[in-house]
């Protein structure tokens, strides 16, 4: 999820590129086509989101905790400090430490307030002589009214188990587990307002703010670090890692959270920064490629849906302070963000489509479209009257 959809790919408060504001020059359809081509040519020639200032990127290795007592008993447990690791969980923690140790040095190690994440981080911390920093934002998404549900049947079904004789508590627990898991999944689709009743993370906006603050802390510490490393390891929980990742990377695949649920000590790797966004590199050892055009368009639509929900949440948080100045400032800032998101949406869509066409043409013809389209656009613009307009429309339709 891009937090500032009006400033896609920017660093700081730089203005939008010129090609992103030219469509406002005319409301006529044929002239908009010409404008679209004018916007397209720079995109074919290079990145549409290149900025003068470089933002440092970091690598984040998110690690799910080892098997906890609640996992072994099939119970939904998200309360702090929560249960400890089982003997198997301790073995898993040692094993993942051996996997991660060759990647040292790390800029920092982080865990949540949950005992199971701290115990999972301990072997790696001991091996590297490091002390993990505990960040509450890395806590698991609160289960709220579903806390303590018996989800053993649900987990068995997700892992290919068969449906045999079941008890009433297992049936009720399965239903509760589905309701708990449905909310974060819907958040990744852009429906942040979907609630988890009585949860410490009552909705997607609250969760993203909390987990995002932890990520921001990790990023700031890494940039200021003198270790020379730009990689961090953060130990957290399955639902929290999966949801934040799919909600914030530019190449999400939310279905992965259903078809390939992150196992105990599974690792998710992301690259990027809070300013420029994040890219999913791998999911439990499985490399993840760049976003396809449908995925990019999905993210564009989601950003548009998310903006008013974030605005409503932020304004409500300001209202709760009871401070008139805070309320007015929140309203002005967030209403502006919604308007900017609406303006940015068609720009993002055109940007993604043009870049996809550029890549396709380059693959099919073996020629860089940047060498062809500027000249073609120039010739078309010299043609008289409607002939030139039609030529521009044809080029714009490429």
| Cβ neighbours around 68 below 10 Å, total | 25
The one catalytic residue among 19, 92, 119, 140: 140
Task: Check if the beta carbon of residue 43 is closer than 8 Å to that of residue 357.
Answer: no
| Catalytic status, residue 129 | no
Report the C-alpha gap between 167 and 287 in whole angstroms. 40
- Range list of β-strands (E), the chain: 58-64, 108-111, 133-134, 231-236, 267-273, 277-283, 286-287
The one catalytic residue among 19, 65, 239, 393: 65
Two tokens, residue 229: 């490393």
Report the C-alpha gap between 126 and 133 in whole angstroms. 14
Two tokens, residue 104: 């040292």
Q: Which of 257, 253, 259, 255 is nearest to 281 (CA)?
A: 253
| Catalytic status, residue 65 | yes
Task: Check if the beta carbon of residue 221 is closer than 8 Å to that of residue 230.
Answer: no
Q: Mind telling me the catalytic residues?
A: 65, 140
């Amino acid at each position: 999820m891009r937090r500032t959809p009006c400033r896609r790919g920017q660093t700081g408060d730089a203005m939008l590129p010129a090609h992103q504001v030219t469509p406002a020059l005319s409301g006529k359809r044929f002239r908009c086509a010409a404008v679209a081509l004018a916007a397209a040519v720079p995109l074919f020639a290079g990145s549409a989101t290149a900025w003068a200032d470089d933002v440092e990127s970091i690598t984040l290795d998110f690690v799910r905790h080892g098997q906890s007592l609640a996992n072994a008993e099939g119970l939904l447990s998200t309360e702090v400090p929560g249960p400890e690791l089982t003997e198997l969980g301790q073995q898993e923690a040692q094993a993942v430490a051996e996997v991660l140790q060759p990647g040292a040095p790390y800029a920092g190690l982080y865990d949540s307030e949950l005992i199971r994440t701290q115990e999972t981080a301990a072997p790696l911390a001991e091996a590297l002589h490091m002390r993990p920093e505990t960040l509450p934002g890395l806590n698991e998404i609160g289960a709220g009214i579903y806390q303590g549900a018996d989800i053993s049947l649900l987990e068995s079904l997700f892992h290919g188990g068969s449906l045999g004789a079941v008890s009433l508590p297992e049936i009720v627990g399965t239903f509760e587990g589905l309701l708990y898991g449905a909310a974060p999944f819907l958040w990744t689709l852009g429906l942040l307002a979907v609630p988890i009743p009585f949860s410490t993370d009552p909705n997607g906006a609250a969760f993203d703010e909390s987990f995002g603050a932890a990520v921001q802390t990790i990023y700031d510490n890494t940039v200021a670090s003198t270790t020379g490393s730009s990689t961090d390891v953060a130990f957290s929980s399955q639902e929290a890692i999966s949801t934040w990742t799919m909600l914030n990377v530019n190449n999400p695949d939310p279905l992965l959270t259903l078809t390939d649920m992150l196992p105990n000590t599974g690792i998710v790797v992301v690259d990027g920064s809070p300013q420029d966004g994040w890219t999913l590199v791998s999911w439990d050892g499985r490399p993840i490629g760049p976003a396809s055009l449908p995925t990019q368009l999905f993210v564009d639509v989601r950003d548009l849906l998310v903006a008013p929900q974030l605005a409503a949440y932020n304004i409500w948080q300001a209202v709760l302070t009871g401070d008139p100045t805070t309320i007015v400032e929140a309203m002005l800032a967030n209403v502006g963000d919604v308007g900017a998101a609406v303006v940015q949406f068609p720009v993002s869509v055109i940007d993604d489509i043009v870049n996809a066409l550029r890549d396709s043409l380059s693959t099919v013809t073996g020629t860089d479209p940047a060498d062809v389209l500027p000249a073609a656009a120039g010739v078309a613009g010299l043609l008289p009257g409607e002939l030139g307009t039609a030529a521009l429309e044809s080029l714009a339709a490429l």
